[in-house]
Amino acid sequence: MTFLLLRPARVAGQTPAIRVFQRFTHGKTRREREYYWTTRELSFLLRHGAFQQKLPMRPDGYVKVEDLASDCLDSCALETELCQLRHRSIAAHNLDVPTLQRIVVEDNKKRYKLQEEADGLWIRANQGHSMPELVVEMKPILSATEIPMAVHGTNLQAWPLIAKEGLSRMSRNHIHLAQDFEGKVISGMRKSTSILVFVDVSRALEAGIPFFLSFNDVVLTPGNEEGLLEPRFFSDVRYANANKYSQEVPGWNR
State the first-to-last Cα distance of the chain, in angstroms, to the nearest integer.
57
Average pLDDT over residues 68-76: 45
Cα separation values, 124 from 76, 129, 238, Å: 20, 10, 34
Residue 65 sits at φ, ψ, to 5 deg, of: -55, -35
pLDDT at 209: 95
Give the model's confidence band at 23: pLDDT under 50 very low, under 70 low, under 90 confident, else very high: low
Contacts of 38 (CB under 8 A, 6+ apart): 5, 7, 93, 95, 99, 103
Under CATH, which number does the domain 139-244 receive? 3.20.170.30
Fold held by 2-125: Arc Repressor Mutant, subunit A (1.10.10)
Between 220 and 29, whose confidence is greater? Answer: 220
What residues contact 18, with CB distance under 8 A and at least 6 apart?
11, 84
Q: What is the pLDDT of residues 78-100, one digit of tens each?
A: 434 333 333 222 233 456 788 88
Q: What is the pTM of this model?
A: 0.57
Domain 2-125 matches domain 139-244 at the CATH topology level: no
- Report the 3 state secondary structure along 154-171: ECCCCHHHHHHHCEECCC
**What's the pLDDT tens digit per position in 182-210?**
654 455 566 678 899 999 999 999 999 99
Give the start-to-end residue ranges of the domains of the chain: 2-125, 139-244
